[in-house]
Amino acid sequence: MPVREGDHVIPMMNEYIRIFKSAKAKVIISRDWHPTDHMSFKSQGGSWPPHCVQNTAGAEFSPDLKIPKDAVIVSKATDSAKEAYSVFDGTDLASKLKAQGVQRVFVGGLATDYCVKESVLHAMKLGFQVAVLVDGIRGINAKPGDVDKAMNDMLKHGAIPVTLGDFPEVEALTGEENPAEVIGDDPLTKDDAKKKARMRPKGSYKQVRRERG
Ligand code: ZN
């Protein structure tokens, strides 16, 4: 099931993973993990070609994705009879995160107009603050405009749009907010910029970067 430019999210997500790891944040990697007769497949009357079938090459993560050793892998949509675009649907991820005191989640990956959107909306419904890693997502756009509509939906419900540029090293080092720097030529309001500044994970980002040479 192709997503145009889907592979473009990999270097971005690798960079986010590096930043979040240096801030000691948890990294959760989710995957579709369908049985061969999943209801979403065209052969079963669904809309999609067969994809992400359990224990097949199609369900493997890209070898280019740098998955941390301590990442939590969440498999979803494992029941033949149920679709689950949201990573919180039919999994125990929400209760696990809550038990660990997690309040904020940052979401990237594929696809913007399905699993990303549904996971983001679901997370907000569950009471998490949510940032969308907008340079680390790509959509399917089955109908033209689907991706734009998905973005609007997420933002309308309170998700914060975030890009790699929102993690300036000097700010992470001092832990101080500098809204002027965040705004740049980005058409965000000052309020948005402040919200974004608050969403940043704090940590020794710069130090880790220096150690890597
Ligand atoms: Zn699927």
CATH number of 148's domain: 3.40.50
pLDDT tens digits for range 50-72: 999 999 999 999 999 999 999 99
Query: In the prediction, which pLDDT does 120 show?
Result: 98
Asked if residue 66 is part of any domain, the answer here is no
Residue type, 154: M
DSSP per position, the chain: ---TTGGGHHHHHHHHHHHHHHTT---EEEEE-B-TT-TTBGGGT-SB-S-SBTTSGGGSPPTTS---TTPEEEEE--STT----STTTTSSHHHHHHHTT--EEEEEEE-IIIIIHHHHHHHHHTT-EEEEEEEEEE---SSTTHHHHHHHHHHHTTPEEE-GGG--HHHHHHT---HHHHHTT----HHHHHHHHHHSPPS-HHHHHHHT-
Q: How far is the CA of 35 from the centre of ligand 1 (A)?
A: 10
How many domains would you assign to the chain?
Answer: 1
Q: How far is the CA of 141 from the centre of ligand 1 (A)?
A: 15
Q: How far is the CA of 30 from the centre of ligand 1 (A)?
A: 12
Asked if residue 74 is part of any domain, the answer here is no
Query: In the prediction, which pLDDT does 175 show?
Result: 53
Query: In the prediction, which pLDDT does 43 show?
Result: 97
Asked if residue 39 is part of any domain, the answer here is no
Query: In the prediction, which pLDDT does 212 show?
Result: 47
Q: How far is the CA of 134 from the centre of ligand 1 (A)?
A: 21
Asked if residue 15 is part of any domain, the answer here is yes
- Ranges of the chain whose pLDDT falls below 70: 169-194, 197, 201-213
Q: How far is the CA of 151 from the centre of ligand 1 (A)?
A: 20
Asked if residue 97 is part of any domain, the answer here is yes
- Where in the sequence is the domain holding 138, given as residue range(s)? 6-27+86-197
Asked if residue 113 is part of any domain, the answer here is yes
Query: In the prediction, which pLDDT does 195 show?
Result: 72
